[in-house]
Structure 1
Amino acid sequence: MTESFPTSRPSGCPFDPAHEYAAFRHRDTPSKVSTPAGVDAYVVTRYDEVRTVLRDTRLSSRSAPSDHATPNADLDRVIESGSIIHNDGDAHKRLRRMLATEFAVKRMEAMRPRIVAMIEAQLDAMLARGGPVDLVQEFALPIPSLVICELLGVPYEDRDQFQERSALLVTVDGDPDEMMRVSGELNQYMVDLVLAKQAKRDDDLLSRLITRGEELGQPLSLPELVSVGITLLIAGHETTANMIALSTLALLRHPDQLAALRADPALATSAVEELLRYLSVVQFGLFRHVTDDLPVGAGTIEGGGFLIAALSAANRDESVFPDPDQLDLTRNDGAHVAFGFGPHQCLGQQLARVELEEVFSRLYTRIPTLRLAVDFDQIQYKNNTLVYGVTALPVTW
């Protein structure tokens, strides 16, 4: 039986994944669904099975990350050689090795003081302005945008250009012509930036990538540098910005958990992991081509088919996370898969952790009376985007 792929969250709790996932998870074989892209796929929902398939070389990521959620997506399009997201095998390993040093734990920790300064300055400005404010525009979006701009060497004054364009590019129901136009504009912006870095190196990630490739005798091509730059620019602020705002809303709805975090800011580290698990903002999972027959559970997905690794479902697997629908900032039951798993696991996860840890340890103590400025049922959610979040979060204090 083929069912419809779930694309909406339950009305009762906007933090929970689609309720169909719980039923899927208790079946012996992956559930077959029809997707908005117009193809059938098998949904893998159990924690152990999601981890297993995402590290299997019989999966191809050429339609990653979530093409299945886009109506009538072109799944046969030719992927440019420079894409770290869509490439497999040696092509992907080469790019990932080049980038690994940039996102090593030691380098991310070295950025922590600068990130703290950005957060404190943004909080100072917000407090001076006074409430109510939209936390998305005044805090959640600026922090990761500032960080990724500094990391990549992107002028922060260009933020409006890339924020608006990237917000459109992560929607699943945008006008195709508009999406193509915006994609072309963002591509040209990055081409100009990379060419400027090639002409004059600075102390930023793109400049270091150019130099590293030359020193290793494996210079990165212009398409590779442009693709890497766009990927990091979008992923570097969209996911973290949505996590900051949605996590704040979740904590305001769980005052006991927020009180515990305020009482002990050191709880921020475990709070980050639990909120990543609980919210799983990559809401439609990861889409993969199955290149050869792949056993999953009691069944087999035939080569040539498609698979969806449902991250949000795996992160609510009760066999790994007791009481998985409960938010518990002290939880230490297991490692979530909010950043994916396997060779394509998110490169920037350590940077995201540093940003979120510092936000969680500072925002709620600097503003201890933070509260919603509207009724909870007035909050609107990004149900049509690859990264889940809120469109705005009016707060006051």
Structure 2
Amino acid sequence: MDNPSPLVIDASGRDIHGEADRIRAHGPATRVVLPGPPDVEAWAVSSPELLKRLLTDPRVSKDARRHWPRFAAGEITPEWPLFTWVAVQNMFTAYGGDHKRLRTLVAKAFTARRTAAMRPRIEKITEELLDHVENGLRGGGSVDLREEFCYPLPIRVISELFGLPEERAPELRELVDRLFDTSADPGEMTAAYERLYGVLGELVAAKRAMPGDDLTTGLITARDEDDARLSEQELLDTLVLMISAGHETTVNLLDQAVHSLLTHPEQLAHVREGRATWDDVVEETLRYEAPVASLPLRYAVEDLDLAAFGGPEGVVIGKGEAILASYAAAGRDPERHGKDAGVFDVTRVDKEHLAFGYGVHFCVGAPLGRMEARIALPALFERFPALRLGAEGDALGYVESFISNGHRRLPVRGS
């Protein structure tokens, strides 16, 4: 550990890209201090090539119980703001055979066929929400597009997929917002998790009593019938993962795509005039504004000499040390994307990004998130060709999180 002054991560997330610049300036991998107490140091990895190699190496684990000595020793308690991010028992935190078992069970429920079958519903929900937005814009009015479009679309989609009653959506949103708020009081976050477990426990009980054609029923079936059974805690934690990550990231993707296009009208013109596609918009947004800015945590199963991974000479991540995947920093890495890496350009040839992760932990919901954005964005801009921002800069606010990358509000006008 040659760097004596690790960077302190801002829990509020008020300047995600400024912080990403500082992380990159310290090298492909640098020590940081995560929000506490207690103080927890980790290695922030910002080089996309180094990240890919680490994320696919079996000597890098996500299992805190097995491979993070501080957690195993009881030093990391529920009072730590990020405790639930490392303590849940699902495929997000699993390693090796456990991860393969859990991901296989999820994949049996979350199939490509089921995702594709959601297209007509996503199109209908999009049109219903745009009708609502249109009503709000009449007479020169302003609408908070994050609140009225970017949020409700993914929540309604994920609720339908998992058979969650629509009336629970507002509570679900409030609870998930709290989980991503890395500046929140740990007690508030613990209470949010407890309430979320209560909501999902009720859902599981209801689906056991009356199964449906939904992912919750599919996971229950896998838990109750498969030889590689889900434990009851793994079932609940898997639902926490799928429902929370299944909408928060898409909210940010939609939010950031709309904001990027409205603040770069020449890029929107490229799409409208056929020089770029909506797929280009989605992928460039994922690179330029990764919906998940940084993701905790992984752990070195043994000493990792980064030179062996194509990284810097003389830097070793020690056995049991924590690793933070800095996706926002990686997306704008000049070594990968050139001097204009910090420019939003839908015509960019190389839009490669790590916004959905990489390797065995690649996001199982990525096809759904992409499909939602590819349906919602063209529908929005076709309905409102003169759409413009109703506020800019600091007035938009920011999600109070160094994990979740989005605005607090996105006011727009129709003309």
Residue 363 of structure 1 pairs with residue 370 of structure 2: no
Residue 59 of structure 1 pairs with residue 69 of structure 2: no
Matching residue of 2:68: none
CA–CA separation in structure 1 for the residues paired with 2:19 and 2:119: 32
Unaligned ranges ≥5, structure 2: 66-70
Offset, 1:58: 1.6
CA–CA separation in structure 2 for the residues paired with 1:133 and 1:93: 44
Return the letter of the residue paired with 2:114. R
Matching residue of 1:182: 192
Match runs of 1:110-125 below 5 Å: 110-125=117-132
Change (3 A) 1:190 1:383: closer
| Equivalent residue in structure 2 for 1:308, among 324, 329, 332 | 324
**Matched residue of 1:201: which SS?**
coil
Offset, 1:134: 0.8
**Matched residue of 1:319: which SS?**
helix
| Equivalent residue in structure 2 for 1:328, among 345, 354, 376 | 345
CA–CA separation in structure 2 for the residues paired with 1:178 and 1:354: 34
**Matched residue of 1:320: which SS?**
helix
Residue 99 of structure 1 pairs with residue 102 of structure 2: no
Return the letter of the residue paired with 1:85. F
Change (3 A) 1:208 1:71: closer
Question: Is this contact kept in 1: 2:91–2:99, CA < 8 A?
Answer: yes
Offset, 1:315: 1.4
**Matched residue of 2:305: which SS?**
strand
CA–CA separation in structure 2 for the residues paired with 1:255 and 1:15: 21
Matching residue of 2:26: 24
Matching residue of 1:287: 297
CA–CA separation in structure 2 for the residues paired with 1:126 and 1:207: 34
Question: Is this contact kept in 1: 2:181–2:400, CA < 8 A?
Answer: no
Identity %: 34
CA–CA separation in structure 2 for the residues paired with 1:377 and 1:220: 45
| Equivalent residue in structure 2 for 1:191, among 187, 190, 201 | 201
TM-score of the two chains, using structure 2 as the length reference: 0.86
Question: Is this contact kept in 2: 1:59–1:290, CA < 8 A?
Answer: yes
CA–CA separation in structure 2 for the residues paired with 1:359 and 1:235: 19
Change (3 A) 1:122 1:375: same
CA–CA separation in structure 2 for the residues paired with 1:74 and 1:364: 38
Change (3 A) 1:310 1:385: closer
Question: Is this contact kept in 1: 2:13–2:398, CA < 8 A?
Answer: no
Matching residue of 2:45: 44
Residue 129 of structure 1 pairs with residue 136 of structure 2: yes
CA–CA separation in structure 1 for the residues paired with 2:83 and 2:324: 14
Matching residue of 1:4: 7
Q: Alpha-carbon deviations, 1:312-343, whole Å to 9, x = none? A: 22212223223211111122315310111122
Question: Is this contact kept in 2: 1:103–1:350, CA < 8 A?
Answer: no
CA–CA separation in structure 1 for the residues paired with 2:295 and 2:109: 26
Question: Is this contact kept in 2: 1:278–1:327, CA < 8 A?
Answer: yes
Return the letter of the residue paired with 1:390. H
CA–CA separation in structure 1 for the residues paired with 2:146 and 2:199: 25
Change (3 A) 1:24 1:385: closer
Offset, 1:133: 0.9
Change (3 A) 1:52 1:378: same
Return the letter of the residue paired with 1:301. I
Greater CA deviation, 370-379 or 143-152?
370-379
**Matched residue of 2:118: which SS?**
helix
Change (3 A) 1:128 1:74: closer
Cα RMSD (Å) of the superposition? 2.7
CA–CA separation in structure 2 for the residues paired with 1:358 and 1:74: 34
Offset, 1:241: 0.9
Change (3 A) 1:373 1:16: same
CA–CA separation in structure 1 for the residues paired with 2:289 and 2:84: 31
**Matched residue of 2:337: which SS?**
coil
CA–CA separation in structure 2 for the residues paired with 1:274 and 1:328: 7
**Matched residue of 1:189: which SS?**
helix
CA–CA separation in structure 1 for the residues paired with 2:195 and 2:149: 26
**Matched residue of 1:109: which SS?**
helix
Offset, 1:36: 2.5
Match runs of 1:69-80 below 5 Å: 72-73=80-81, 79=87
CA–CA separation in structure 2 for the residues paired with 1:374 and 1:21: 30
Change (3 A) 1:41 1:213: closer
Residue 318 of structure 1 pairs with residue 325 of structure 2: no
TM-score of the two chains, using structure 1 as the length reference: 0.89
Question: Is this contact kept in 2: 1:265–1:360, CA < 8 A?
Answer: no
CA–CA separation in structure 2 for the residues paired with 1:286 and 1:75: 10
Greater CA deviation, 201-210 or 371-380?
371-380
**Matched residue of 2:50: which SS?**
helix
Unaligned ranges ≥5, structure 1: none
Question: Is this contact kept in 2: 1:272–1:353, CA < 8 A?
Answer: yes
Corresponding pairs, count: 388
CA–CA separation in structure 2 for the residues paired with 1:92 and 1:16: 34
**Matched residue of 1:31: which SS?**
strand
Return the letter of the residue paired with 1:366. R
Change (3 A) 1:161 1:265: farther
